[in-house]
Structure formats: C-alpha cells, structure tokens
Amino acid sequence: MIVGILKEIKTEEHRVCMTPAGVEVMCQRGHTLLVERNAGAGSGFPDAAYVEAGAEIVATAKEVYARSEMVMHVKEPLAQEYGLIREGQIVFTYLHLAADEELTKGIINSKCIAIAYETMQRADGSLPLLTPMSEVAGRMAIQQGAKYLEMEHGGHGVLLGGVTGVAPAVVLVIGGGEVGANAAKMACGLGAKVYLLDMNLDRLRYLSDIMPKNCFPLMSSPATVRELVKQADVVVGAVLIPGAKTPKLVTKDMLKTMKKGSVLVDVAIDQGGCFETSKPTTHTDPIYTVDGVVHYCVANMPGAVAKTSTMALTNATLPYALEIATKGWKQAMRDTLEIKRGANAVDGKITFKGVSDAFGLAY
Ligand code: NAD
C-alpha cells in the first residue's frame, strides 16, 4: 500500500505519526512510504533519516494526499485539508470527531475511511492508542509540579524528595488510572510522600500491590480530598469518567485551605478539569495563580516532550498501521476488534455511535 506521513500543522504540535524506525519496518513489508518534507523535524528526525529508512520525501501535503492510499497524522486534519482527502482514502489519526462538527462534515463529504486512534478499544475496554499519552502526561505532571514548587515560579520553595533531616513534600494524586499511576510512580521515585485516590476498590487493591512504600492508595471521597489538599504541596488531577464531564473534586472553598505556593496540575483539563478553578492553558503560558495556589492546566502536555511522545505513540500505532496497510481496511476490521472500533466514518457515513449522537447524524 502507498502510505503518506503528513507533517503536523496545528500550533505547538511537534510530534510526527511515524519514526524512521517505523518507516523502515513498513518498507521492509513491501509498502511505499511518502513522507512530507520536514514532517519529523519537530521530533528530531531529519528527512535524511526517513530517506535512509526507505521513504520518499514529498514536498507538500497536497501531494501526499493525492498519491497515498492511506494517510497518517497525529492530530485531526485542519479545514484546509478537508478538500484534499480523497474518496476511499484511509485517514488514520486522532480525530475526536464528536468535539468538532465542521471536521465531521469534512470527513463525511470526503467519503474517506476514517479510523480514529482514540476510539480503538480492546475487548477488555483498554484504549491502546490513548494509554501511551496518559503515561507521558502522568509522568510529566510531577516534573511540572516540582518545577513550579520552586520560588522563582511562584511556588513555596519545597524539594519533592526533601533531604536528610528534612521531610519530603506531600503529593496528592486524584484518580489512579493510567495518568495517576504514572504520576504517583514518578513522585514516589523522587522520594515524596504520595497519596493516590481512586473510587474503584479493585483498582486500589492493584495499586496497593504494585506501588512503593511511600505511596498510600486511598478510597476517594469529598472528605478525604478536603483533608488531604490542606497538607499537599502538589495536587495532580487525573480523574476520568468515560463519556462524562470530569467532576469538580477540588472546590473553590477547598482551594482557600491550601498552602500558599502549592501547585495544582490538572491533567484532566482536556475533559473539563477536576478543580473548580481550572481553565485550559498552553505551553507558552502554562500557569496562573488563584488564592496563592499555582495552577498548571495544559491540555496537550505530551507536545512538550515531542521526541518521547512520538516514540511512545508510534510504538503503539505501528502494528495497526502495518495490519491495515497489509490486509486492507476491510479485512483488518474483520480480524481486529480495535481497528473495527476505530472506524468513525466509512464512504460518507458515520460508523461510530458517539459521533452520530453528538450531531444527530444517521448511524
Ligand atoms: P483512566 O480511565 O485510566 O483513569 C481515570 C481514573 O479515575 C479511574 O481509575 C477511575 O476509577 C478514577 N476516578 C473516577 N472518578 C473518581 C473520583 N471521584 N475520585 C478519584 N478517582 C476517580 O484515565 P487516564 O488515562 O488516567 O486519563 C485521565 C485524564 O487525563 C483524562 O481526562 C485524559 O483525557 C487526561 N489526559 C490529559 C492529557 C493532557 O495532556 N492534559 C494527556 C493524557 C490524558
């Protein structure tokens, strides 16, 4: 199959959807790879590395769309790309159609085969192409928390791990899923005292088994959150209720009881955030302060560590890209549940219920 690797054009998006190592594997399996010029530059992969891996460098996105049977991106196509997508072409990327009616119409009108990373789901409910970014964001949350605890950034000048004779910082992680477990692991590694809250007893049991001794997995309740925010130096918001807006677990009143110069990192901000005072920020202007508490609420955290994120994402997408390219989308969907569940639109029809529900479209 002819597979096109597009350059990301969204602001602050430095990732690329396939590394040269991935291109090499695809080429070895007999596929033809077209890579848009400078597609990997933001992640540290020059065009020369793609050529060495067997790809052809193509000057424009227009040409990539015109010549490829499948195009891959990281983020959704932007308005200027809708007209370039061809009938029957496979578009394999994060799409988040339910959040964007214009894009949904663009995809429908193009009559392409749209396979969305974010809806690919295994039989056990896990989301193989979302997990790598949750790992990145969870780990990064602690780096950001540590940084903004420093005085020059408005923090109250506390080192996460403490030192000999000085107590470590207290980190509260609300939500013990992928993001939360990764945040807790990082904070524990740095020597902080970590409270990790979740509502799911089975999950808490698992976390109690695998986490180090300086992590205390606890049942989440308003009372527990209210007590622990008073002690915390860093609070990480990592809650997700699938299909619903994130609940506001740290209220304005609770915020007033927190230490001045403590830090909130709301990773769940992409679903509305779990602190009442959260609002989305960007990598260029990541923080603001309310009641003396520093808030970090960047909605696309993995973009800041593009190289790691690119490699984590492509490790997860490559097997699926290979399968679709080798078998064609119809057979790949018959054989692999995740790919079938990834189908959001086929030949001008919406094939994912969440998207049809969002806009009252035929399904
Ligand atoms: P997940 O489903 O793996 O984990 C969510 C956890 O929250 C579950 O274990 C669930 O039991 C728990 N939970 C639900 N209600 C709770 C409550 N009241 N108190 C405590 N825990 C509760 O999800 P995830 O992959 O860890 O993602 C978490 C959030 O981070 C999502 O909103 C996701 O979109 C977001 N995210 C953001 C970025 C970013 O760049 N900002 C990157 C990746 C993920």
Residues 276 and 145 grouped into a single domain: yes
Query: In this predicted structure, what is the pLDDT of residue 315?
Result: 95
Consecutive 10-residue averages of pLDDT for the chain (363 residues):
96 92 98 98 96 98 98 96 98 91 96 96 94 97 98 96 98 98 98 98 98 98 98 97 82 98 96 93 95 95 93 96 98 98 96 88 79
Select which of 31, 96, 233, 266 is catalytic: 96
CATH of the domain at 189: 3.40.50.720
Instruction: Report helix, strand or coil for 259.
Output: coil
| pLDDT at residue 243 in the model | 63
Active site residue 202: no
Domain match, 185 and 217 both: yes
If phi > 0 it is left, if psi is from -120 to 50 it is alpha, else beta; for residue 167 that is: beta
Q: Residues 223, 273: one domain?
A: yes
- Please give the number of the atom of ligand 1 that sits closest to the Cα of 241: 14
Q: Are residues 26 and 69 in the same domain?
A: yes
Identify whether 266 is a catalytic site residue.
Answer: no
| pLDDT at residue 245, rounded to an integer | 74
Instruction: Tell me the residue range of the domain where 273 lies.
Output: 131-299
Structure tokens at 208: 């109690």
Chain Cα centroid distance, residue 49: 26
Q: Which residues line ligand 1 (CB under 6 A)?
A: 133-134, 137, 174-180, 197-200, 203, 220, 238-241, 247, 249, 267-271, 299-302
Classify residue 268: in a domain, yes or no.
yes
Q: Report the nearest-CA residue for atom 12 of ligand 1.
A: 175
Of all residues in the chain, what percent carry a pLDDT higher than 90? 91
Strands 32-36, 193-198: pairing kind:
unpaired
Reported pTM: 0.89
Whole-number Å distance, alpha carbon 113 to ligand 1 midpoint, is 29
The reply to whether 171 and 278 lie within a common domain is yes
Best mutation site among 15, 134, 236, 249 for ligand 1 pocket (most ligand atoms within 8 Å of CB): 134
* Same domain? 179 vs 102: no
The token pair that represents 84 in the structure block: 């370039």
> Quick one: 335 and 277 in the same domain?
no
Residue 239 lies in a domain: yes
CA-closest candidate to residue 190, choices 165, 162, 218: 162
User: Are the CB atoms for 76 and 85 separated by under 8 Å?
Assistant: no
Residue 118 belongs to some domain of the structure: no
